[in-house]
Structure 1
Amino acid sequence: MATSNGSSRSLGTQESRWRRHGDSHGDSSSPIPYRKGPLEYTPAVLCKCGAKAASFISWSDLNPGLRYLKCARARDGGCDFYRWVDPPNNSFMKQLLLDLRDAMKYWKRATGVAEQSLEDARMETARLLESATRENQRASAGRRNKGESKTAA
């Protein structure tokens, strides 16, 4: 493979950095929002219960990005229906999807941390501004009182 910045060596470095941050340890939640609901597909495929099977996307380490059908009521006593929609990815596509999944999760987490830090800074700024305003008002009142006592004397 080429030795440019896009080599597998540099990708491996990025991948290990994202994975060190805990982005792929068994978490198969979707790194991106679904574009349509689990029952918004055609033609309908019925599960063993006779209901329309739900469509999902796997983000596991073994099958990243692959769509599958599953009984929509599987968690509530439905059946064990399960069928892959897509064929398995080749090793390149599989690794690429894993890297993209991990990068998305890393940056979502980093964005959340940055947003929380920004909110904390805004709260602290508001607190300091309020404190400075009170102090300024006290100082102004003190100067006015001194001016009044000089005029009275």
Structure 2
Amino acid sequence: MAGRRIGVAMDFSEGSKAALKWAIDGLLKKEDTLIVIHVKHRQALESRNLIWVDTGSPLIPFAELHNAGVMHGYGVEIDPEVLGLLDTIANQLQVTVLGKIYWGDAREKVCEAVGAHELDALIMGSRGLSSIQRVLMGSVTSYVLEHAACPVTVVKAKNHH
């Protein structure tokens, strides 16, 4: 039986790192596929990446996530802590790790990734916006909880108030 397809929304914040750690500790199993979803603001889109503006980057294999040159080409600097966690997932848990980069509105693009990759579950962190901030700025987490076509687990960082 093939493993599950699990997504983790990653913006390199403490909340998204906590979500990745939670997935490692309690969810991911051998033969699962983890898709790390990162959304950049559309303004960060460089001309060399215009081909992927609508669909996002191709799926990026684990080995290329470690390659600073490849990731720089996408305009992404991967956090060393996140790379260490991904190493753990790939090597110790024997999970297939892939990256996917989108440009645009994080709310819409995360939901798009859920459908495009037929995810069985999505794990994401919470930034901990106050009620007023959520009303004024909108919450990616709230939007994804309402619109994603799979179960969503929200993980709060330990230092979250």
TM-score range, shorter chain: under 0.3
Say which structure is richer in helix: 1
Name which one, 1 or 2, has greater alpha-carbon Rg: 1
Say which structure is richer in strand: 2
TM-score of the superposed pair, with normalisation by structure 1? 0.24
Structure with higher RCO (Cα < 8 A, 6+ apart): 2
TM-score of the superposed pair, with normalisation by structure 2? 0.24
